[in-house]
Structure 1
């Protein structure tokens, strides 16, 4: 098990203790050559989950890879604009991209509730080095995100 998968399991434990409410998750493992492999947490897909269209767009933009066929023919600028329209800006994308070097992994979470500082305290004994990079969406951006990617999933 890699660090991101171990972190995912730890976050599920924190969810059981009601310290976070996870709606969707994906693990990205970046090999030594820089290729990314995405594993969506299918057990969470359902109410509140965004599904493959969202993760495909976000991960594709991070690593310029055509995941799930979603990115075929689209430009990075158009994708960045689409995510920017829902509150995920270029600064956040660039920060995440820079943090996931070849040979490392990352856990992406969509969480509705959770205190980042309290979660960091709970993870102080975690066996792997980690960095939390977070962004908050306004209620309007959250609604746009769900509307946009619910339509993508239905159309796909």
Structure 2
């Protein structure tokens, strides 16, 4: 099953370290990374820096559009004000179609502030227990996922 997860970190470099751990788990066959994005918001910066991978070269444009839609609705659309209300509603509905709710968007938006970072990953075929071993020692918060309730519970237990 393909899943979307987002982890927040208390430091601007935390998501980068977690990405290395996730890629290591992928190399060892514990999870397949479909695509990922890292948001780093250094202290004092006006806005976050967003980078995303292109694990799937054939569908890279589609993933670029997905990340643009997600991060545009998180960090840039709220600045547009009430005049953009209809467009924001359409963005939210588009993201809900892929399993990301408006409440999850709000939670992610609240977690990513100056001095923090975020790792978002679309994965498949994951062994959560083995992946959790790779994340040991990293201080993070799982802020969003479209896993089933049982899978989400397992992930929360594994990652705290």
Q: What TM-score, normalized to structure 2?
A: 0.68
Please list the CA deviations of residues 70-129 of structure 1 after superposition, one character each: whole Å capped at 9, or x if unmatched.
xxx772221011111222111211221222221111111110121434422332233xx2
Q: Does 1:16 align with 2:27?
A: yes
Query: Unaligned 5+ residue runs, structure 2?
Result: 1-11, 79-83, 149-160
Alignment of 1:54-65 (within 5 A): 54-64=66-76
Please report how far the alpha carbon of residue 24 of structure 1 lies from its aligned counterpart in structure 2 after TM superposition: 0.4
How many residues in Structure 1 have an aligned counterpart in Structure 2? 129
Match of 1:133 in 2: 143
Residues 42-86 of structure 1: per-residue CA shift (max 9 Å, x gap): 4x14246542100001011111259xxxxxx77222101111122
Task: Calculate the aligned-residue CA RMSD, in Å.
Answer: 2.6
Higher strand fraction: Structure 1 or Structure 2? 2
Aligned ranges for residues 4-153 of structure 1 at < 5 Å? 4-32=15-43, 33=45, 35-42=47-54, 44-47=55-58, 49=60, 50-64=62-76, 75-126=87-138, 129-136=139-146
Contact 1:64-1:76 within 8 A present in 2 as well = no
Larger relative contact order (C-alpha < 8 A, sep ≥ 6)? 2
Please give the secondary structure, in 2, of the residue aligned with 1:23.
strand
Shifted more, 82-91 versus 19-28: the winner is: 82-91
Instruction: Compute the TM-score of the two structures, normalised by the length of structure 1.
Output: 0.70
